[in-house]
Structure 1
Amino acid sequence: MPIAHVVLLSRIAAAVAALALPFGAARAAEEPLTVAWRDKPPYHYMEAGKEKGFLLERARKAFNVANVPARFVREPVKRIWANFDNAVRNYCSIGWYRLPERERMAQFSVPFYVDPPQLVLAGPRTAKAVRAHESFASLLGDPAMSIAMIDGASYGAQVDAMVEAGRTHVLRRTVGPISLLTMVMAGRASFTLIDRHDWDWARTHEPTVRGAVPVQFPDMPPGQTRYIVCSKDVPQSVMARINHGIDVVTLEDRSDRPGSR
């Protein structure tokens, strides 16, 4: 059995021992947490009036295992972080990278999910110029290029730092990944960044972005870890239960993978 698997089992066992209280009674006395999620298919999104997404379902399962009452709501990125900055009480959000500026506003769970690496996505008009670069660092050093990015969102500390240090013109918009892809396809930006889950979803669900060109660079940083984030007033006992729920869901996910048994 892999060491990481053993460590996770030990952590779950310790959490169960520490949380050996009447969960039902505790739940009845608790005010539900508001758990915000932003539109990011296929992680979490609306389709035909229904909430969908593999990470949203994972979060629901984790809160259910933790026996923590929760009310899930869709909110835009900037509102979510404004709520944390304004110390809104009993408030959580799912699927965020851990950054120093965010740690000042909120508390983070144990690791919730690890992304696949980002891809550079170019349009038909810019693919040749993007591919002319041998590395991501070289691409970001090209002042003739422009990158479309979501305003208020992080692409991971390493990617954020590379973009900040580069010479590429940065176009930040308060929109989702699909709208950024539309900008690239229309030639209003040279390229954007997208993770593999986003791209797999977009190319099968969004006809307007078909024909976009994915480009992989050898120096692209690895996928980032996502967390559940909660306001600082959420008690440590509740955070411990949320962490336990995440650990259980993570263990089940690993056990379901081919070759894990």
Structure 2
Amino acid sequence: MKLYRILGCLTLCVVGCVLWVRALSAAEEGTIIMLYGGHSGYATRVEGKMVGIIPDYIKKITQGTDLRILWIHSGKGSVTLRSKRPNICYSGIYKSPAREKEMHFTKAIGRVAAYKLLSYPQNTALKKHTRLKEILADDVLKVAALKGASYGAYIDALYAKHSVPRVVNTPKRLANLIVNNAVDYVLMADVTAQKILADTQFVGRLEAYTHLEDLNVGTEYYIACSLPTTLKMIERLNQAIQKFPMIDPSKH
């Protein structure tokens, strides 16, 4: 049985390597390698076809152009973008000063709905504050965040300033920290917060707080590409992007 498992893993690795070799060769010929991973509502592959709000948008803006898109799954998209190969891109990524040094960004393609702050019901200590930066400065209130996640430049900067610990890697585990009294609150993207609040495990045990002034504006996201990608290619993407409105936050 172990031998079968090992052979199965090796087969997957070989297939993955072949796909990447084909992808990188295509990139050199002018095709954009578009990485995807993470939230299935944004981009996923179903029966060989890419579906989700990001693929739908990319398909729309590239129709009628000579831009070719090859979708490749990658669990570490932002890491892979640091590749020395050109035309390796990832869609739906936040911009930050640190990332701008490591990759090229297009014009914004969408805006996520405002982040939701989740806590236990009737948290009066939270209600007395009107801004996230005030809550983070309140040493009585404990917070945690997802490992490896970006919350947008504004929130990321505040999290770095206050050394917010990143201790779990899924939203559900993050929510459980509140239920288990390990933290007082967490932040989640609107679509994720809605799913967590509707989960029978958390119904009545969590509440979304939407009164914070500095969380009422959604965060823009972009297509980012590896640094060897030419500025001419980024401009071609920008020309395609500017012909269409950004992705509607209500669809997230």
In the alignment, does 2:159 pair up with 1:163? yes
2:120 aligned residue = 123
1:38 paired residue number: 37
Residue 176 of structure 1: how far off its partner (Å)? 3.8
Cα deviation per residue 1:153-174 (whole Å; 9 max; x = unaligned)?
32222222333334xx723146
Partner Cα distance (1:216, 1:57) in 2: 30
Q: Which amino acid aligns with 1:81?
A: S
Tell me which residue corresponds to 2:218: 223
Instruction: Determine whether 1:183 maps to 2:177.
Output: yes
Provide the secondary structure at the position in 1 that maps to 2:165: strand
CA deviation vs aligned residue, 1:193-222 (integer Å, no higher than 9, x gap): 123233334445x43343321112333242
Partner Cα separation in structure 2 for residue 158 and residue 54 of structure 1: 24
Which residue is equivalent to 1:232? 227
Q: Work out which of the residue numbers 188, 193, 201 in structure 2 matches 1:208.
A: 201
Q: What amino acid sits opposite 1:236 in the alignment?
A: L
Question: Cα 1:48–1:33, aligned 2, differ >3 Å: closer, same or farther?
Answer: closer
5 Å matches for 1:1-261? 30-40=29-39, 42-44=41-43, 52-76=51-75, 79-124=76-121, 127-166=123-162, 170-173=164-167, 175-204=169-198, 206-211=199-204, 212-221=206-215, 222-250=217-245
> Whole-Å Cα distance in 2 between the matches of residues 176 and 60 of structure 1?
29
| Structure 1 unaligned blocks of 5 or more | 1-26
Over the residues paired in the alignment, what is the CA RMSD in angstroms?
3.4
What TM-score, normalized by structure 1, do the two folds share? 0.69
Whether the 8 Å contact between 2:83 and 2:226 is mirrored in structure 1 is: no
Q: 1:7 — aligned with what?
A: none
Provide the secondary structure at the position in 1 that maps to 2:214. Answer: coil
Give the Cα separation in 2 of the matches to 1:250 and 1:197.
21
* CA displacement 1:73-95 (0-9 Å, x = unmatched): 3323xx22222234343310011
Q: Per the alignment, in what secondary structure is the counterpart of residue 85 of structure 1?
A: coil
Counterpart CA distance in 1 for 2:80 and 2:117 is 31
- TM-score (ref. length: structure 2): 0.71
Number of residue pairs aligned between Structure 1 and Structure 2 = 222
Are the equivalent residues in 2 in contact too, given 1:118–1:220 (CA < 8 A)?
Answer: no
CA distance in 2, matches of 1:113, 1:189: 31
Structure 2: gaps (5+ residues): 1-25
Distance 1:233 1:54 in 2: 27
Read off the aligned partner of 2:177 and give its amino acid letter. Answer: M
Separation (CA, whole Å) in 2 of partners of 1:226 and 1:178: 23
The offset of 1:227, in angstroms, is 0.7
CA shift, 1:223, in A, is 1.7
SS across alignment from 1:189: coil
| 8 A Cα contact 1:35 1:93, kept in partner | yes
Residues 157 and 43 (structure 1), Cα distance of their counterparts in 2 relative to 1, 3 Å cut: same
Match of 1:4 in 2: none
Aligned amino acid, residue 42 of structure 2: Y
Question: Structure 1: how far apart are the matches of 2:64 and 2:137?
Answer: 47
